[in-house]
């Protein structure tokens, strides 16, 4: 089993579903291995836990959309799974150090 291929397939799955609720179990199922084994492989290859990777990707894409598409903060926050613009702003502050 080629772990590099598994991680690449998982990242493709994540990118296709980035605006949806993504679970470790769903991603593991998409690459046809157990969630435990998948998490170990994914973390070893990316240097991040699965959920940390998802959170970072969502924030990077959301900020990119805010800048390029001139969407409102609330609209973008809701689109990426945050319930309020305050929680979205706190996540950005925590990740990037600015709001």
35-70: string of b/e by CB count within 10 Å (b at 16+)?
Answer: eeebbebbeeeeeeebeebbbebbbebbeebbeeee
pLDDT digits (tens, 9 = 90+) for 49-95: 999 999 999 999 988 888 888 778 888 888 888 888 889 989 988 88
Residues sharing a CB contact under 8 Å with residue 35, sequence separation 6 or more, in sequence order? 24, 25, 28
Distance CA 29, CA 89 (A): 32
**pLDDT value for 67:** 85
**pLDDT value for 40:** 96
**pLDDT value for 47:** 95
**pLDDT value for 99:** 66
CA distances for 65 relative to 29, 79, 80, 88, 91, angstroms: 29, 11, 11, 14, 16
């Amino acid at each position: 089993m080629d772990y590099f291929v598994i991680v690449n397939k998982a990242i493709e799955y994540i990118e296709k579903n980035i605006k949806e609720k993504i679970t470790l179990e769903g991603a593991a199922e998409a690459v046809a291995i157990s969630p435990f084994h998948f998490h170990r492989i994914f973390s070893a290859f990316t240097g991040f836990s699965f959920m940390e990777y998802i959170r970072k990707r969502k924030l990077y894409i959301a900020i990119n959309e805010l800048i390029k598409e001139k969407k409102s903060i609330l609209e973008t926050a809701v689109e990426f799974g945050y319930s309020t613009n305050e929680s979205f702003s706190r996540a950005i502050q925590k990740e990037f150090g600015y709001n």
